[in-house]
Chain A
Amino acid sequence: MAELFIFFEQIYRILFLLIPVLVSVAMIVWLDRRVWAFVQKRRGPNVVGPFGLFQTLADALKYIFKEIIIPASSNKVIFILAPIVTMTLALIAWAVIPFSETFVLADINVGILYLFAVSSLGVYGIIMGGWASNSKYPFLGAIRSAAQMVSYEVSIGVIIINVLLCVGSLNLSDIVLAQKDLWFVIPLFPMFIIFFISALAETNRPPFDLPEAEAELVAGYQTEYSGMMYAMFWLGEYANILLMCAMGSILFLGGWLSPIDLFPFNVIPAPIWLILKILFLFILFALIKAIVPRYRYDQLMKLGWKIFLPFSLIYVVLTASFLMYFDLLPGN
């Protein structure tokens, strides 16, 4: 009986986390389009609901009622599995994100590795979708994105090593608490910039949205998808973007910690701070989408392998020797 109670309590906690995440994904799509419109001096979605806030819900409703078309020559099982995989992987990663010292679903020892593993699995949704469509453009998009995501994961991994050197633990709560005095964005500022750009590439956002470059590949791996399955890809993509923003704020911007431990700031509850930081990073994502032109594919690969990887490797050596020299290594 007690086990059953624990089971239902866990389900309640999972829902308590997932439903706000899904709602905020819907809101973030609206925010993305508004920021984009703002930069281009347009109004953006402003009709459905106050300020157009319910635009995404209206879109989702439209997608639900549209017919799902499965191409006759596709591999049907994998075709249907692909958006499900994308969506699931984007959502399960939220289990380890700490919103405050106590408010975390699974406070596991290797939290950052879990996040890294789940984000590196994200490529499967795209490859499966692209291959199973059995058509030229989706396949090209899938191959591009596989190469792109694998390359940028490497530099994200090395950046994570930089942060871990300063923390001495793989637990996400420990990573946040280690930034109590100084956010890592200050000593590791170059790494923060590289992390941000790699996150853009990892989530296939502009200027690195080559897997779905509409001028070249129609819509990349999503070309053959319609209705609810397309909407799932789309939701998963935005959930992934939010996740990368959360990862950035936990690794570099001090997670749930307030900027200074003084009166008006430390009254505001911890989850609000994390949400504000995620929003800040997301607005940067949205601004870059509006401002920067798309990269060419060879430039993208060159940036990942020839510039980011060596630079972050050198920074690892630098950080390690700095910590060693001033005897600041954690765990001593």
Chain B
Amino acid sequence: MIAHAIVFYIFSLIAIISAIMVTVSKNTVNSVFFLILDFISISCLFIMIGAEFLGMIMLIVYVGAVAVLFLFVVMMLNVAQQKNEWFNSSGRSSHIPVGLLVSIIIFFELIIVIGGWKYKPDLLDSIAIEINTDLTNTQSLGSVIYTDYVHLFQLSGMVLLVAMIGAIVLTFRQRSGVKRQSYFKQISRDRKDGIELVDVENNKGVKIDA
């Protein structure tokens, strides 16, 4: 039990320190790396409380895909310029008040949620789903999402689809003058329309119309 507690405190310490470093670190790429470290230690915490499916999904989705895209975008930016704008000209920057507002709101929300969990003793009884402790949590999550609440799941899928199509439409631009490769065109080419035999007169050359 002591070993469990020690490991728990190690992971939560890493999680908190790296979360602070995300905001404090001056290099944007370093911030993203600390964010990844944060995700990893939080998924370790998930695994420690027995939510192994959630922990793995956290690793796959956030660390394996989302953070890669973050890193991808951040590495492309001109980091030096951005650093100046964010930290050195604090007089003009309007990011800090907005950030403060958001963090205060989140703080109060957390207080309400944790207060409810701590001081309302019958909170666990008021949940809508029976918790079946015989099943592994992969199975029980599966039955809740795909059987009990399948319509809500489909609905959220539709919302995501709309968001995806919106993003594609917003960023799509038709470019002209791009030569695309068409396999069908290439394969269906034969000798007749590929080669033309021309008799060339001396000192005249050939006129090719492309």
B42 contacts partner chain A, Cβ-Cβ < 8 Å: no
In angstroms, Cα B69 to Cα A177, docked, is 37
Cβ of A288 to closest chain B Cβ, rounded Å: 21
Cβ of B186 to closest chain A Cβ, rounded Å: 12
Of all A-B residue pairs in the complex, the 10 with the closest CB atoms, nearest first, are A120-B64, A113-B56, A117-B59, A117-B60, A110-B52, A110-B56, A117-B56, A109-B136, A131-B75, A150-B68
Q: How many residues of A contact B (CB 8 A)?
A: 28
B14 contacts partner chain A, Cβ-Cβ < 8 Å: no
- State the total of A-B contacts with C-beta under 8 angstroms: 64
With contacts A110-B53, A113-B56, A121-B64 taken as known, whether A146 is within 8 angstroms of B138 at the C-beta atoms is no
Contacts of B72 in A (CB 8 A): 127, 143, 146-147
Residue of chain B at shortest CB distance from A153: B64
Contacts of A124 in B (CB 8 A): 36, 68
Q: How many residues of B contact A (CB 8 A)?
A: 21
Mark out the residues of chain A between 129 and 188 whose CB falls within 8 Å of any chain B CB in the assembled complex. Answer: 131, 139, 142-143, 146-147, 150, 153, 157, 170
B19 contacts partner chain A, Cβ-Cβ < 8 Å: no
Against B, the Cβ 8 Å flags (1 = close, 0 = not) of A103-123 are 000001110011011001101
Contacts of A128 in B (CB 8 A): 33
A67 contacts partner chain B, Cβ-Cβ < 8 Å: no
What residues make up the interface of B, taking CB atoms closer than 8 Å to A? 3, 29, 33, 36, 52-53, 56-57, 59-60, 63-65, 68-69, 71-72, 75, 136, 138, 181
In angstroms, Cα B44 to Cα A252, docked, is 30
A131, B29: Cβ atoms under 8 Å? yes
With contacts A117-B60, A153-B64 taken as known, whether A127 is within 8 angstroms of B52 at the C-beta atoms is no
Cβ of A157 to closest chain B Cβ, rounded Å: 8
A327 contacts partner chain B, Cβ-Cβ < 8 Å: no
A116, B60: Cβ atoms under 8 Å? yes
